[in-house]
Chains A and B, each alone.
Chain A
Amino acid sequence: MDNIVPEQARTALDAADRARRQVAEEVGLPRGYWWAMAAGWILLGVLGNVLPPWLAGVATVGFGVGHGVLAPRLLDGRRRTDRLQVSAAVAGRRTPLVVVGMLLGLIGVTVLVALALDADGAGHAGIWAAVLTAAVIGFGGPEMLRVLRRWARA
C-alpha cells in the first residue's frame, strides 16, 4: 500500500466508479415490455371507442391488474437483459416510482390529446390519442425512462 501514490489511487477509484456507472446504465425494462405496453394502449383506445363505457372501464381495470401482476418483477429495472442482474443498491429504490410516474403522465397525455382531438372534431379521438401515445411508448419508452431516472437521480 505504501507504494501507491494518490494519483494512482484516484485513477483506480475513477475506474471502479466507471464500472459501476456502466452497470447502472443497464437498469431499465425489457424492450418487449414497452411494445406490449404500446399494444395494450392501442387496444384500450379501440375498446374505449367500440365498447359501452362500463365495459371499457372493466378492460382498463383489467389492463391495470395485468400490469400490476407483471410489474413487481420488472419495475425495479434490474432485469432489463438476461445477461446480468443489477444489484438493488445500484438500481435504486426510486426506479419503480419513476416508471409508475411516467405511466401516469402518459395516461394524462392520452386523455389531453383525446380531448383536444375531440374538440377539433376528429372522429375516433380516443383511438388516435392512444395510437400516438403507443408510438411514444414503443419507440421512446427506454430513452424516456433513462432521462427521467437521471432527472430523479433514481
Chain B
Amino acid sequence: MSSEADAPPAEAAAEAEAETEAPAPRDELREGLLATLTEALGDAVVASEVAGGDLTVRVATDSWKRAVEVCRTRLHMDYFCFLSGLDWLPNPTLSGEKVWDTDDEAGKQGTDDEETTDIPTAVQSGVAGGDTRFQVFARLYDTRRHVGITLKADLDDNDPRVESITELYRGADWHERETWEMYGFDFAGHPSLRHIYLPGEFEGHPLRKDFPLLAREVKPWPGLVDVEPMPGEPEGEGEGAGTEGGDAG
C-alpha cells in the first residue's frame, strides 16, 4: 500500500499540468478517477455521474469504508470536507408540504414567464438519489489537483448502519457524531458516538423528515405568502406579492 501511495504524486502533478493547459480535460480527469474507483471496487459502485464539473459516486453500503479508503490512498483525496445524511421520505409532515401548496396558488395567479413545474408528490431519486429512505454522503477533495468527489451510500430504512471512516479521516469524528445525532445513523467502529449539539437527554433525530418542527406546527410561517418582486418589475402583481417581509430570522 505504501508503494501505491508513494508513486502517484508525480502522475498527479503531470495531470495537474495537463489541466492548466486546456480547460477541457477537466472532466477526463474526473472520468479517470471514476475509472480507478470502479476498477478498485468492482460491483460495489452502484451508480455514478460526472456532471457540472463534479463527480458523484454511489456505492454499496458494505463497501462504504472501502470506497473511502480507495479515495484516500489511490485517488489522493487528502482533504476531508464533510459527511452528512439525507432522508428521502417523500411526505414530510413539516410545512414543506404547505410550501408546495402555496407555490401552486401563486402559480395559478399567473406570471407568464414562469415555467410550470409539477408539484412533487413523490421524491425523485436517480444517480444522486437513493433506493432506500436514508443515505449517507461525504465529500472528499484533492488539494493539489483541485478535484472533489461526493460519495454516497444507501442505508437500510429500519437499521441505518454503516462503517465509520474515522480511521481514515480523523476529521470525520465530529461529522459522524452530528449525523448520528441528527439522523440516527449508527457508525460501526466510531470511538464514541455522543451528542455534539443537542443535550444528552434529547430524544429523536431532528433532521429526519418525520421529526416535527414544532414552531411551524403551532403557527404557520408568515413568510409563505411573501413573494418579493424582482427589480424593475412593477410591484403589486398578483396577490400577496410585493410585501417586504421574510426578515424574521
Q: Do A and B come from one complex?
A: no
What is the interface of chain A, defined by CB distance below 8 A to chain B? none
User: Which B residues are within 8 Å of any A CB, using their own CB?
Assistant: none
